[in-house]
Structure 1
Amino acid sequence: MSGVPEGVPCLLMRGGTSKGAYFLAGDLPAEPALRDDLLLRIMGSPDERQIDGLGGAHPLTSKVAVVSPSADPDTDVDYLFLQVAVDRAAVSDRQNCGNILAGVGPFAVERGLVAAGPERTSVRIRMVNSGDRATATFPTPGGRVDPTGSAEISGVPGAAAPVLIEFPPGPRPLLPTGSVREEIEGVEVTCVDNGMPTVLIAAASLQVTGYESPAALEGDRGLAGRLRAIRLEAGRRMGLGDVTDTTVPKLTLLAPPREGGAVTTRTFIPVRCHPSIGVLGAAGVAAGLRMEGSVGAGPARLEPGVDRMRIEHPTGFLDIETSLGSTPEGLPSVRRTAVVRTARKIFDGTVFPRSAGTAPTHPHPLGEQR
């Protein structure tokens, strides 16, 4: 029937502490502008409630994975992550997402891109956004993805099958600015990139404790202004250019641990305060804490000789393993990063986008844009 939008095959999954729509690349337009317009209509943006689409009115539930067979002989699939803005007509490919990454391996098996093993399956993944690689290993008893298991992660109720994600060293320097510690806007920071451009800041240097709730931190207008200024300059120094309209670099405030972990964190993505912490953001924190002289050296409580550390966040913790080496120039470099996540298929079917040209006239009905 004329005017009726065509449906698109889609698998909605929870990956880690995020939720997103997973698509085969061949089911979406190849032209980025057409693809992004379609995804905005599928997710229901721009609208603070995303009431007319799949999105959940928060950056953590407005995510998309586009997966395809990889032409790289060293990887099985390519994974493009797209962050769909909630209250703006914007789609960004400027970052990776380690939580949505947790669902890419199971999705690849579900869609027949990778054959399942009789007990476990490992899927080698190229993250198109950055060129980084990861290997996801998960149970496939009887040659089928089985999401049931006993692994628990903070921020997700219940338990599920573990997805072990291992990250080899990426192609970019761990210290994009070449400095372990530097000053931006009068605040000492450490800029790292262990799969996600991240700026580490001691919470006390911004006159907050680092134990505040996300809502309290988001409501602090003075803090928001300082963080914005730091982020813009850090982005420039890290080689990211003008980051005004992007979601990277992330900013993570650090404070001494309260629950027996290595450090307490509050992460901004980039304006909203994360209710937990992203996998790749945690990888950056873990690497930063291990650098002598970094801003994390003060707040951190590390166990000598142990690769695993527990990173505390507003809703619990994330355990991650990281070990460092050094470059020929004597700068820190990453040897290995590994983390356990979980993922679960929520539905598999056809999604019907909003009709083209029907974006809301007033995309911010519930208040000003944040």
Structure 2
Amino acid sequence: MSETRAIRATIQRAGSSKGIFLLENDLPEDPVLREKVILAIFGSPDKRQIDGLGGADPLTSKVAIVGPSKQEGVDVDYTFGQVAFDQAKVHTHAICGNISSGVGPFAIDHGLVKAEEPITTVKIFNTNTNKVLTAEVPVKEGRAAVEGDYSIAGVPGTGAKVTLDFSQTVGALTGKLLPTGNVKDTIELSENERITVSIVDAATCQVFVRAEDLGLKGTESPKEVDSQPELLRKLELIRCIAATKAGLAESPEKCAVESRNTPHIVFFSEAKDYENYLTQEKISEESIDLVARGMFMQIMHKTYAGTGSICTSVAAAIPGTNIHEAVKKEIMTKKLVRIGHPAGIIPVEVEVQQEVKNFILKKAAIGRTSRRIMDGNVYIRNSLFQ
């Protein structure tokens, strides 16, 4: 009897992230055993993930589980997991926009959705948020197209543009666009220190704080932020207190352990010149509407989260939020928000309408590229199943 068991796996680059894509029916039904299998596939818990397929980086330690949908009018069901390095945990509190952009191409390439040229529309039910995403995937010769002239920051070269619409994801984690009912909230960090935040939930939940309120410029690189332990501690404290206010955690202490990847915290500033930390190329104030830096699993995101770009753009379009006060007001008419992040610019098509006291999300779409890198088998010890 073999000491290992084979499970089909695809390594897929999706947006500016890379993940392991698995077919739902190839995994155990029992959720506890399923989590153990996914951890083994990635080689977690281990910061190097040396005994698995994980890339030892938050942006490459991600899993997508895809299968035929159980929902009427939907093509596939999709579960996202953020696989931790330092704990035996697959976090499924939220969705990843970048990895989501690979679900449509993966479903087409694996025969879960009929390929139709030139564009195949894939309806995706995300089980993390119970929301539906719509992907428009270029198709060529029965497969998801790879070649194209669309480029995204943080990924070399160009590819076929996958358009992903998140307009049906309002209240993805909390059930509300404004989880606290307020466009701004005050966070009490200590008896003598308070800070103003805005908390918004669209595609994912984010906590927004002005860079200047943290003593920052807003244009910092990942290395500049990640090398400041006191700043990281403060950002995590703000995030966890805000999570409690938003109803995403019972307490800041529990948030720090049980909900490490949600909500995200973002610090931002008005548009200004800065350098792409990867290429040292200048990003001009005129080319963006604001500067933003997102924290992810307690370090700075090296580019910008896909769902985060949706939430940031929606927040920027809601009058009264702290981030709306910092953006160029033309975004309300052009319905486009250009976010300047550490490695470039991500544009988001967004339209928010105010009706009486409510805000209605009419459109929230990003363009991504995706490419299947490898198909094959990943081998898991049989002893894990016993």
* TM-score category, normalised to shorter length: over 0.9
Instruction: Determine whether 1:270 maps to 2:297.
Output: yes
Q: Which has a greater percent of strand?
A: 2
User: What are the residue-to-residue correspondences of 1:1-370 with 2, within 5 Å?
Assistant: 1-2=1-2, 4-170=3-169, 172=171, 173-185=176-188, 186-242=194-250, 243-245=255-257, 246=259, 247-258=261-272, 259=284, 260-303=287-330, 304-326=332-354, 330-353=357-380, 356=383
| Paired AA for residue 218 in structure 2 | G
Cα shift at 1:84: 0.4
Relative to 1, partners in 2 of residues 1:356 and 1:85: Cα closer, same or farther, differing over 3 Å? Answer: farther
Q: Percent identity?
A: 36
Q: SS in structure 1 opposite 2:59?
A: helix
| 1:8/1:350 contact within 8 Å kept | yes
- Gaps in structure 1 of 5+ consecutive residues: 358-370
| 1:309/1:321 contact within 8 Å kept | yes
Cα shift at 1:110: 1.3
| Paired AA for residue 270 in structure 2 | P
| 2:147/2:159 contact within 8 Å kept | yes
| 1:119/1:142 contact within 8 Å kept | no
Relative to 1, partners in 2 of residues 1:344 and 1:300: Cα closer, same or farther, differing over 3 Å? Answer: same
Cα shift at 1:169: 2.9
| 2:101/2:368 contact within 8 Å kept | yes
> What number of residue pairs does the alignment pair up?
355
Cα shift at 1:31: 1.1
Q: SS in structure 2 opposite 1:344?
A: strand
| 2:170/2:201 contact within 8 Å kept | no
The separation in 2 between residues aligned to 1:336 and 1:221, in whole angstroms, is 38
| Paired AA for residue 314 in structure 2 | A
Residue 366 of structure 1 corresponds to none
| Paired AA for residue 324 in structure 1 | V
Query: Structure 1 stretches (4+) deviating beyond 4 angstroms?
Result: 354-357
The separation in 1 between residues aligned to 2:7 and 2:297, in whole angstroms, is 30
Relative to 1, partners in 2 of residues 1:327 and 1:82: Cα closer, same or farther, differing over 3 Å? Answer: farther
Cα shift at 1:298: 3.3
- Gaps in structure 2 of 5+ consecutive residues: 189-193, 273-283
Q: SS in structure 2 opposite 1:39?
A: helix
Residue 278 of structure 2 corresponds to none
Q: Deviations over 1:75-113 (max 9, x none)?
A: 111110011002221111101011000110011111111
| Paired AA for residue 230 in structure 1 | I
| Paired AA for residue 271 in structure 2 | P
The separation in 1 between residues aligned to 2:378 and 2:368, in whole angstroms, is 26
The separation in 1 between residues aligned to 2:349 and 2:377, in whole angstroms, is 38
| 1:254/1:263 contact within 8 Å kept | yes
Relative to 1, partners in 2 of residues 1:297 and 1:171: Cα closer, same or farther, differing over 3 Å? Answer: closer
The separation in 2 between residues aligned to 1:74 and 1:262, in whole angstroms, is 37
The separation in 1 between residues aligned to 2:345 and 2:85, in whole angstroms, is 26
Cα shift at 1:354: 5.4
The separation in 2 between residues aligned to 1:271 and 1:354, in whole angstroms, is 31
20-29 or 43-52: bigger deviation = 43-52
Cα shift at 1:356: 4.9
Give the RMSD, CA atoms, in angstroms: 1.4
The separation in 2 between residues aligned to 1:223 and 1:101, in whole angstroms, is 31
The separation in 2 between residues aligned to 1:301 and 1:254, in whole angstroms, is 13
